[in-house]
Amino acid sequence: MKFGEKVKALRKKAGLTQEQLAERCGRGKSYICNIEKGTRMTTLDNVPDLATALGVSIGELIDPDEVEPSSPYLEFIPYLAQADEVTLNNIRAILGMPKKNVTSEFTKKIN
């Protein structure tokens, strides 16, 4: 199953509309729509937000066997799929990306 198909299936399983998922991720409806259609790819940094919004683990959302073989990040996918929030923030720090508190941001959005 392709990434967009998996997002759509998990969204429907969670009983969410595209608009609701987009709001939980802090994105627009067109972002979710295009991911589901396969016309837009997401970055690895957005995967934790999507997983949290869908109520699944990163590992449930990303299957290392489904990642494009030419991806320079392929070797890291199994680790990201098992990473907790602290580990993801450490990875962001190493890459010079801003730290996120995904759980707290998500909790604020749904409360």
Measured between alpha carbons, how far is 22 from 33 in angstroms, rounded to an integer?
9
pLDDT digits (tens, 9 = 90+) for 15-45: 999 999 999 988 899 999 999 998 887 777 7
| CATH number of the domain bearing residue 60 | 1.10.260.40
Number of domains in the chain: 1
Could you list the residue range(s) of the whole structural domain that residue 76 is in?
A: 3-110
pLDDT digits (tens, 9 = 90+) for 51-107: 889 998 887 887 666 655 555 555 666 677 677 778 777 777 776 666 665 444 443
The model's confidence at residue 7, banded by pLDDT at 50, 70 and 90, is very high
Q: Which of 67, 66, 49, 69 is nearest to 58 (CA)?
A: 49
What pTM, to 2 d.p., does this model score? Answer: 0.61
